[in-house]
Amino acid sequence: MTEAPGAATFRTPAEAYDRHIGRYGGALARALIEAAGLAPGDRALDVGCGPGALTSELVALLGAEHVAAVDPSAPFVEACRERLPGVRVEVAAAERLPFADGAFDCALAQLVVNFMTDPPAGVRELRRVTRLGGTVAAAVWDYAGEMTILRRFWDAAVALDPSAEDRDEGRSMPFCMPAELGDLWASAGLADVRVAPVVVAAGYDGFEDLWQPLELGVAPSGAYAISLPPERRSALKRELRRRLGAGDGPFRLTARAWVATGRVGEAVDQAAARPA
């Protein structure tokens, strides 16, 4: 299977991710956990855990022994293991999860569905490892609309270089609208599917604090920034700053995500649901 184009942009040191999209992770994780209806005693799996933003909130609620996590990025798995001792963290992708059928009360994927190699197969795997009556939940950014930093970034990039349009995540991400996300959940055989907006925020010390992590090449936005020669990179930096209206002082940005939840309904043919 060919990896999704953006997936390789997460094989960076965890700190680069923490300073870019990771800033929004804790608040988004708390909203996702609430939407999934998790409660102490439940067992949860974090798929595409990254350095552990959602994993850490799951551990705070459920305890390390009730939480497992996977990600295909080795540096992120290493960071997650170091940060959260006692959690089983494996290098694995959503499409082939190393867990038994029905092993969890809830499987979650925060900001991952759009990076899966085969999203329908990945969501079917999340369903397979969740018990009957359990919940499969995910959050995706509203890349095309109100995920402020990424929307402004790609608007600035395309204004300066129309050929960047193909890399604009508002266009390239197949599941960044509620209808498509809901259909993905329903077509994986999940019941009572709901999709709702969640708005979170993150603070920056100043524009440099926002820009520097992009220079580390993390995520599709960072990978695009460092692909530019110095002059064009500086022009993008100026244009993004102008569009954000950001200066040298502190500011906050909001980011909207769509959260999908679905229940594992009638017993499925688990053998058929398993990947070949």
Ligand X SMILES: C[S@@+](CC[C@H](N)C(=O)[O-])C[C@H]1O[C@@H](n2cnc3c(N)ncnc32)[C@H](O)[C@@H]1O
Nearest approach, Cβ of residue 222 and ligand X (Å): 11
Q: Is 236 near ligand X (CB under 6 A)?
A: no
Q: Which of 27, 35, 38, 49 binds ligand X (CB under 6 A)?
A: 49
C-alpha 83/C-alpha 65 separation (Å) is 14
- Considering the complex, what minimum distance in angstroms separates the CB of residue 228 from ligand X? 21
CB proximity list for 163: less than 8 A, separation 6 or greater: none
- For ligand X, the closer of residues 118 and 161 by Cβ is 118
**How many chain residues bind ligand X (CB under 6 A)?**
25
Integer Cα distance of 199 and 275 in angstroms? 35
SS (HEC) of the chain: CCCCCCHHHHCCCHHHHHHCHHHHHHHHHHHHHHHHCCCCCCCEEEECCCCCHHHHHHHHHHCHHHEEEEECCHHHHHHHHHHCCCCEEEECCCCCCCCCCCCEEEEEEECCHHHCCCHHHHHHHHHHCEEEEEEEEEEEECCCCCEHHHHHHHHHHHHHCHHHHHHCHHHHCCCCCHHHHHHHHHHCCEEEEEEEEEEEEEEECCHHHHHHHHHHCCHHHHHHHHHCCHHHHHHHHHHHHHHHCCCCCCEEEEEEEEEEEEEECCCCCHHHHCCC
Here's the x/- map for ligand X, 6-25, by CB under 6 A: it reads as -x--x----------xx--x
- At its nearest, how many Å lie between ligand X and the CB of residue 113? 9
Residue positions counted in the chain: 276
Provide, rounded to whole angstroms, the least separation between the CB of residue 24 and ligand X.
8
Q: Looking at 93, 106, 140, 190, which residue binds ligand X (CB under 6 A)?
A: 93
Which residue's beta carbon is nearest to the bound ligand X?
50
- Rule CB under 6 A: which of 150-209 touch ligand X? none
- Taking CB under 6 A as the criterion, the residue among 31, 48, 140, 257 binding ligand X is 48
Residue with tokens 């001792």: 85
Q: Which residue from 115, 154, 175, 185 is in contact with ligand X, where contact means CB under 6 A?
A: 115
- The residue among 50 and 189 lying less far from ligand X, judged by its C-beta, is 50
Tell me how far, at minimum, the Cβ of 242 lies from ligand X, in Å: 26
Q: Look at the alpha carbons of 241, 242, 248, 252 in this order and tell me if their dihedral is positive or negative.
A: negative
Among the listed ranges 48-56, 189-197, 230-238, 260-268, the one in contact with ligand X (CB under 6 A) is 48-56
- For ligand X, the binding residue among 13, 78, 90, 117 (CB under 6 A) is 117
Build a one-symbol-per-residue string for 51-90: x at contacts with ligand X by CB under 6 A, - elsewhere: --xx----------------xxx--x--------------
The residues that touch ligand X, with contacts defined as CB under 6 A, are 7, 10, 21-22, 25, 47-50, 53-54, 71-73, 76, 93-95, 110-112, 115-117, 122
